[in-house]
Amino acid sequence: MSSTGWTTREAHDRVDSPRRAELLTAARSVFERLGYGAATIADITAEAGVSRATFYVYFASKAEVFAVLAEQVRDAFLEAQRVSAAEDDDILAVLRRTTGTTLEVVVEYRSLIVVLDHQSLADEDIARVWNPIRRSARERTARYLQRAVDDGRIDPVADPQMLAFMGAGMNDELAPLIAAGELTPDGAVERIMGIWEAVLRQRRR
Amino acid sequence: MSSTGWTTREAHDRVDSPRRAELLTAARSVFERLGYGAATIADITAEAGVSRATFYVYFASKAEVFAVLAEQVRDAFLEAQRVSAAEDDDILAVLRRTTGTTLEVVVEYRSLIVVLDHQSLADEDIARVWNPIRRSARERTARYLQRAVDDGRIDPVADPQMLAFMGAGMNDELAPLIAAGELTPDGAVERIMGIWEAVLRQRRR
């Protein structure tokens, strides 16, 4: 197990502490404002209004608190894409619902995602964790679509992996418009679904 | 006219100087490595191997040199999307060619684009310049597609603006795979064109 905090977290018994949650919120705010490189533990403790010693009760390093924030984004994507057995069969309904919930995550974490993308350019440790998180959302979509192809429910115009890239790309392009108030979340979902319906070519049964 | 360098540049007579080009290359490298916030003029002059006084011969501020880099990205996108009168009529050929040239720009400037996205979060001056640059590439695509709809050459599955978002999103998603060597540029173009062909529904004439 790594000691950087990227693959495991120490102090699991303190995970639910309100103080730890405050430190995470403060760290996120500092990283979004300054980027990862320029942010210091002093900035984070000042933002949270706690001492440096308190920070080290919960996190071993700046890298560890950043890793935990990356895990929060991953967990939010996982939750947004969860498909229940009951809804699984109606592919357009699943895509409509998960497009809406995924857009919420992309909009909510938009700034932190840009900071993670930014830091991944220069920092191999962070790229090694963040790139698979980015990728796993697309891979889940691709697997779900592949299953629908295998079951004969859709006859898509391109392979599921390419369609997953297309879907992720549309989400990423429309999210800034939602964040800027130029498009409503529902409006974005409607437009994205128009493309999905056309490219999936659902089969009547 | 603004004095920040965002809308106009002073010292046009020095624009073609090799020293200025060296400073821009150095600045780009520093911004990509450190981000905009942490980078200093001292970092840039150290990277270029010139004095602080030399920097100020060519640029008024860190903001100005960053603005000129943003303009370089804008010009590269403009050049990548230029359509000649001769090729204009063959929509799939135009999209194939401009997808290839635009992907080259996205891959080449990938790090700087992430830095520009990152800085636009916190810095309204930069957002005011960078967001329209991002947007103009999509708008050109949308206008081109709209013209093809008006001429009856295509019968697309969605409105041209949404298709332009889709296209930009696919480029942005596939560019990191090209940069990482996981996909060839030609392979990316082929996959993207498969989607374009399907959604445009070209009309035989």
What tens digit of pLDDT does each residue of A14-49 get?
677 899 999 999 999 999 988 888 899 999 999 999
Please say whether the beta carbons of A75 and A104 come within 8 A: no
Size of the A and B interface in Cβ pairs below 8 Å: 106
In a 3-state reduction of DSSP, which class is residue A154? strand
Where are chain A's structural domains? 1-66, 81-205
Query: Range with the lowest mean pLDDT among A58-67, A124-133, A171-180?
Result: A124-133
What is the distance between the alpha carbons of residues B180 and B202, in angstroms, rounded to a whole number? 33
Give the closest of A35, A172, A197 to B37, CB-based: A35
Amino acid at B121: L
Q: Which of B155, B162, B161 is nearest to B201 (CA)?
A: B155
Report domain B1-66's class: mainly alpha
User: Over pLDDT 70: what percentage of chain A?
Assistant: 93
In this predicted structure, what is the pLDDT of residue B84? 84
Q: Which helix (H) or strand (E) holds B202?
A: none
User: What are the counts of helices (DSSP H) followed by strands (DSSP E) for chain A?
Assistant: 9, 0
**Facing B199 at nearest CB: one of A118, A176, A199:** A199
For residue range B114-136, list pLDDT tens digits in order. 999 988 887 888 888 898 888 88
Predicted confidence (pLDDT) at residue A7 exceeds the cutoff of 50: no
User: Residue-wise pLDDT tens for chain B (205 aa)?
Assistant: 444 544 444 554 567 789 999 999 999 999 998 888 889 999 999 999 999 999 999 999 999 999 999 999 999 999 999 988 888 889 999 999 999 999 999 999 999 999 999 888 878 888 888 988 888 889 999 999 999 999 999 999 999 999 999 999 999 999 989 998 999 999 999 999 999 999 999 887 6
The neighbouring-strand residues paired with B189 are none
Res A173: pLDDT:
92
- CATH class, range A81-205: mainly alpha
Whether the CB of A157 is below 8 Å from some CB of chain B: the reply is yes
Q: Which site among A118, A163, A201 would you substitute to test the B interface, given the most B Cβ atoms closer than 10 Å to its Cβ?
A: A118
Share of chain A above pLDDT 90, in %: 70
pLDDT in tens, A76-100: 999 999 988 888 889 999 999 999 9
Per-residue pLDDT, B14: 65
Min Cα separation B122/chain A (Å) = 6
Q: Does B73 touch chain A (CB under 8 A)?
A: no
Q: Chain B partners of A131 at a C-beta cutoff of 8 Å? A: 176
Helices (H), chain A: 18-38, 41-48, 52-58, 62-80, 91-108, 110-122, 124-150, 160-179, 185-200
